[in-house]
Structure 1
Amino acid sequence: MEALVTHEPTIRLIVFFGILIGMAAWELAAPQRRVEIPRLVRWSNNLALVALDAVLVRFLFPVVAVGLAVIAQENGWGLLNQLSIPTWVVTILAILALDLAIYLQHVLFHAVPVLWRLHRVHHADLEFDVTTGVRFHPFEIVISMAIKLLLILALGPSAIAVLFFEILLNGASLFNHSNVRLPPKLDAALRLFIVTPDMHRVHHSILPSETNSNFGFNLPWWDWILGAYLAQPSAGHTGMTIGIEQFRTKRDLWLDHLLFQPFRGPASGYPINRTSQKPEDDN
């Protein structure tokens, strides 16, 4: 377990860059949408935000998800550590529970205006590609990590389950935010098990009714069960507008504007409890 905690950052970093490079190459080879904004502008600022997020998490949290899972397991904390069932069953239950929790957290960030201010940094990207999948405001990352740590304490998943889930979630986010073209039949088949780029792209539509659908990052089942699934955007994948009504200039893509975006303008139109309003009507 100590070795797992020691090497966890290296394992995740290798997988992250491997998937990032692979999906970037795929985007170049078979893009779904035409790229209008130079990649250098977006990628440099999106990835700078990722680096800042990583540094902040390491600074603020003496222990992160896998490390806390080891501590919980050693002390018998959490629901799953009280159950006498096979390890593989516990692992599956832990991954499903963690995925559902992340899904519900995502919905919460769309429902509460003050949290939407943080999450809209992710949605305000004017293109949809692999770097969008890791573009989150540092305050959102800190809140997400705090929620995840509390969930691990309550649930008591194994360190292996948490490591696998972290890698799966991160990899899935890079995959399903990628600007890649999949054959329709393959996309339909994959949607039975994972969230595909076409499925999640709907969630990044400028239309609030489409933004507030397809919340899943990894498993597609929660959207089906909870009635949030939307198969396709009304304008089609090549015709839809990506982003939100606010922050549509190229200057808004720069790191300094991303960091201060939550404090600018109203939390308009997009929060779930305000979907009946037009953004310009929300003061």
Structure 2
Amino acid sequence: MPTSEHIFAAEPQLRLGVFLVVLAIMALWEVLAPRRRRDIPRVIRWSNNLALVVIDIIVLRLTFPILAVGLAIIAQERGWGLFNLIEAPAWIAVLVSIIVLDLVIYLQHVMFHAVPALWRLHRMHHADLEFDVTTGLRFHPIEIVLSMGIKLAMVLVLGPPAVAVLIFEVLLNATAMFNHSNVRLPLVVDRLLRLIMVTPDMHRVHHSILPAETNSNFGFNLPWWDRLLGTYRAQPAAGHDAMTIGIEQFRTRRDLWLDRMLVQPVKGPASGYPINREASDK
């Protein structure tokens, strides 16, 4: 297994390399085999969504002196967390850590729909009027900070191997771009892939304007949590070609601009889409 020093040194280059490769592959795939018709010019959405990524990275680096992989290394050195207190084969510690971290991200996602104040932050992700690879990168900086705080807390509790955290972080970013992509998969391939990972057709349902569909299919990496915990929905009611992407608020092209995205959490009511009795009755 790689040493902590090697993992820490390789993290920036590995994450950037995988990010650029997956982004390029999915963007090309979207051009060659799109799932849905594109109505909004890419220059509007891509320039603003990618500018948001830069802001997110800057805010994250300014907020935390050390991120998840670095904290996992410190936890290992100081004996913090479950896997640093018990003896377990390295492969089991890595595998269990990745699975547990994925479950935590699923639960976090549900929480950001369930709590109105958190939904105000997360709804910016849902307010994209189209669904493509850059939608998977479109998160409010405050949500990114809160998400990292949750990951850091889990690293302290779980004590995962640093390599497990690195694998998870790379997978989370790559699969978020994959399952938000506007790509067409043969139905049989989609059906088989859903057994082991979240597919674009599966996650697209989550970006429907209908509350019952918005509050389903919360998984990013693994598809199992939605099935086990009752939040799985196989297909959108209107079908993938006819379904409406987004939320009822913020439906103009001007709302896709960076300045409007950043202030969306303080605009309008937070009701209607968070998981609540009213939404579940619809």
- Helix, strand or coil: the match of 1:266? coil
Asked whether the 8 Å contact 1:73–1:156 carries over to 2, the reply is yes
Note the C-alpha offset of 1:160.
0.2
In the alignment, the residues of structure 1 paired with residue 28 and residue 111 of structure 2 have an alpha-carbon distance, to the nearest angstrom, of 33
Deviates more, 1:82-91 or 1:190-199: 82-91
Q: Could you say what the CA RMSD is over the residues aligned between the two structures, in angstroms?
A: 0.9
Query: Which whole-Å deviations, capped at 9, do the CAs of 1:169-210 have from their partners, x for residues lacking one?
Result: 110000000000000000000000000000000000000000
Of 197, 202, 216, the residue aligned with 2:200 is 197
Of 271, 275, 279, the residue aligned with 1:275 is 279
In the alignment, the residues of structure 1 paired with residue 160 and residue 51 of structure 2 have an alpha-carbon distance, to the nearest angstrom, of 32
**Matched AA of 2:279:** T
Note the C-alpha offset of 1:277.
7.2
Structure 2 alignment gaps of length 5 or more: none
In the alignment, the residues of structure 1 paired with residue 107 and residue 113 of structure 2 have an alpha-carbon distance, to the nearest angstrom, of 10
Counterpart of 2:29?
26
Of 253, 263, 266, the residue aligned with 2:266 is 263
In the alignment, the residues of structure 2 paired with residue 6 and residue 149 of structure 1 have an alpha-carbon distance, to the nearest angstrom, of 19
Note the C-alpha offset of 1:9.
1.2
Give runs of ≥4 in structure 1 deviating > 6 Å.
Answer: none
Counterpart of 1:178?
181
Residue correspondence of structure 1 range 139-150 to structure 2 within 5 A:
139-150=142-153
Asked whether the 8 Å contact 1:202–1:230 carries over to 2, the reply is yes
Query: Which whole-Å deviations, capped at 9, do the CAs of 1:207-265 have from their partners, x for residues lacking one?
Result: 00000000000100000000100000000000000000000000000000000000000
Query: Which whole-Å deviations, capped at 9, do the CAs of 1:73-119 have from their partners, x for residues lacking one?
Result: 11111011122121001111100100000000000000000000000
Counterpart of 2:222?
219
Counterpart of 2:58?
55
TM-score (norm 2): 0.97
Note the C-alpha offset of 1:65.
0.6
Counterpart of 2:73?
70
Note the C-alpha offset of 1:7.
2.5
1:96 aligns with 2:99: yes
Structure 1 alignment gaps of length 5 or more: 279-283
Of 232, 235, 257, the residue aligned with 1:254 is 257
TM-score (norm 1): 0.97
Counterpart of 2:154?
151
Asked whether the 8 Å contact 2:208–2:245 carries over to 1, the reply is yes
Counterpart of 2:16?
13
The number of residue pairs the alignment matches comes to 278
- Helix, strand or coil: the match of 1:241? coil
Asked whether the 8 Å contact 1:128–1:178 carries over to 2, the reply is yes
In the alignment, the residues of structure 2 paired with residue 184 and residue 195 of structure 1 have an alpha-carbon distance, to the nearest angstrom, of 14
Counterpart of 2:240?
237
Note the C-alpha offset of 1:268.
2.2
In the alignment, the residues of structure 1 paired with residue 281 and residue 51 of structure 2 have an alpha-carbon distance, to the nearest angstrom, of 34
Residue correspondence of structure 1 range 128-147 to structure 2 within 5 A:
128-147=131-150
Asked whether the 8 Å contact 1:269–1:277 carries over to 2, the reply is no
In the alignment, the residues of structure 2 paired with residue 103 and residue 162 of structure 1 have an alpha-carbon distance, to the nearest angstrom, of 16
1:38 aligns with 2:41: yes
